[in-house]
């Protein structure tokens, strides 16, 4: 009988390579929101996977990115850097169809990290013909002395069993660090705010998603279900109209799809009310960020 192992696995990579999709896929549930837009993940989120002889604690991170202009971007970069410092293993995720200079930047940061690094070439479902994958694998092994390089598709589930079999070898012997029925360190309130932000991001175009955040003000269990009141904060008056939409149609759509998803995940009826409010420059004020639920560095 082998000993039980447990440890932190940081999932690192530039924005949009599929880090959150990967975590949701191995967890078999949605822990972290996903959209096609970069910078969807803004927080460090733990996903706890309890297996028979190992507990894998995945750390989802905002993608490490260059434009660290606003306070929020600096916080996001710091969250990713902290996850690296604590990790027992790093999963470096990249997109098998596209290597960019931002990937180079992330890789540079990994070179100074103590933890072993496994490289994941994600989105292999998009690689055609398959022989191209051999080239990508060759290029990857020349970039760094990775412990392993694994082609995967987070979306299709390809090679994820192999990945899960590989990870425990890199974790220290340890009893479980979290209760086995715990799947994430985040509350239902936090998840509700994230799901609403995901629906907003999916519906709104261009730059606006980066200028908004969602705060759940009330989350109460009532006899006939859960009532959630949430505020969508935007930076400017002009953005308010866009979020509300003509005759309120955007906000209605967002509310409806968020409510349906939350009712499913919370397994009961959800009553959701959304308001849009303006707080200028919230994304560049450390004080506002803290009051809006962004964690202190």
Return the number of the residue (5 or 19) whose C-beta is nearest ligand GDP.
Answer: 19
In the chain, the N- to C-terminal Cα span, in Å, equals 41
CA atoms within a 13 Å half-sphere pointing along the CA-CB vector of 3: 9
Pairing, β 148-151 against β 213-222: unpaired
How far apart, in whole angstroms, are the C-alpha atoms of residue 258 and residue 253? 8
Q: Map the footprint of ligand GDP across residues 89-128, applying CB under 6 A.
A: 122-123, 125-126
Write down the H helix ranges in the chain: 19-27, 71-86, 101-111, 132-143, 160-166, 188-203, 237-244, 249-266, 286-291
At which residue do the structure tokens 């705010």 appear? Answer: 193
Binding ligand GDP by CB under 6 A: which of 6, 7, 8, 21?
21
Pull the structure tokens for residue 213: 């955040």
Number of residues that bind Mg ion (CB under 5 A): 3
- Considering only the stretches 12-20, 91-99, 190-198, 224-232, report the one whose residues sit in contact with Mg ion under the rule CB under 5 A: 12-20
Residue with Cβ nearer Mg ion (194 or 288): 194
Q: Does 17 bind ligand GDP (CB under 6 A)?
A: yes
CB 219 within 8 A of CB 192: yes
Of residues 27-86, those binding Mg ion (CB under 5 A): 41
| Binds ligand GDP (CB under 6 A): choice among 31, 40, 42, 283 | 40
The least distance separating ligand GDP from the CB of residue 34, rounded to whole angstroms, comes to: 4
Q: Which residues bind ligand GDP (CB under 6 A)?
A: 13, 15-21, 34-36, 40-41, 63, 122-123, 125-126, 153-155
Q: Which residues bind Mg ion (CB under 5 A)?
A: 19-20, 41
């Amino acid at each position: 009988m082998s000993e039980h192992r447990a440890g932190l696995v940081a999932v690192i990579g530039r924005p949009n390579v599929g880090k959150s999709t990967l975590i949701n896929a191995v967890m078999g549930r949605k822990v972290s929101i996903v959209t096609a837009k970069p910078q969807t993940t803004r927080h460090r989120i733990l996903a706890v996977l309890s297996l028979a002889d190992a507990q894998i604690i995945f750390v989802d991170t905002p993608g490490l990115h260059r434009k660290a202009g606003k306070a929020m971007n600096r916080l996001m970069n710091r969250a990713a850097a902290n996850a690296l410092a604590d990790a027992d293993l790093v999963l470096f995720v990249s997109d098998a169809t596209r290597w960019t200079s931002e990937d180079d930047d992330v890789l540079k940061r990994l070179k100074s990290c103590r933890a072993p690094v496994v490289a994941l070439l994600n989105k292999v479902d998009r690689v055609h013909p398959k022989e191209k994958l051999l080239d990508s694998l060759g290029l990857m092994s020349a970039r760094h002395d990775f412990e392993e390089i694994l082609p995967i598709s987070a979306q299709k589930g390809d090679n994820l069993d192999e990945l899960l079999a590989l990870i425990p070898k890199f974790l220290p012997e340890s009893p479980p660090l979290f209760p086995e029925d715990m799947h994430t360190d985040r509350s239902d309130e936090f998840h509700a705010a994230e799901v609403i932000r995901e629906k907003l991001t999916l519906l709104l175009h261009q730059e606006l998603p980066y200028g908004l955040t969602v705060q759940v003000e009330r989350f109460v269990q009532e006899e006939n279900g859960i009532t959630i009141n949430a505020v969508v904060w935007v930076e400017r008056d002009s953005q308010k109209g866009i979020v509300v939409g003509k005759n309120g149609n955007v906000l209605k759509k967002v509310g409806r799809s968020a409510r349906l998803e939350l009712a499913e995940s919370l397994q009961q009826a959800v009553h959701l009310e959304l308001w849009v409010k303006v707080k200028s420059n919230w994304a560049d004020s450390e004080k506002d960020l803290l009051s809006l639920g962004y964690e202190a560095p």
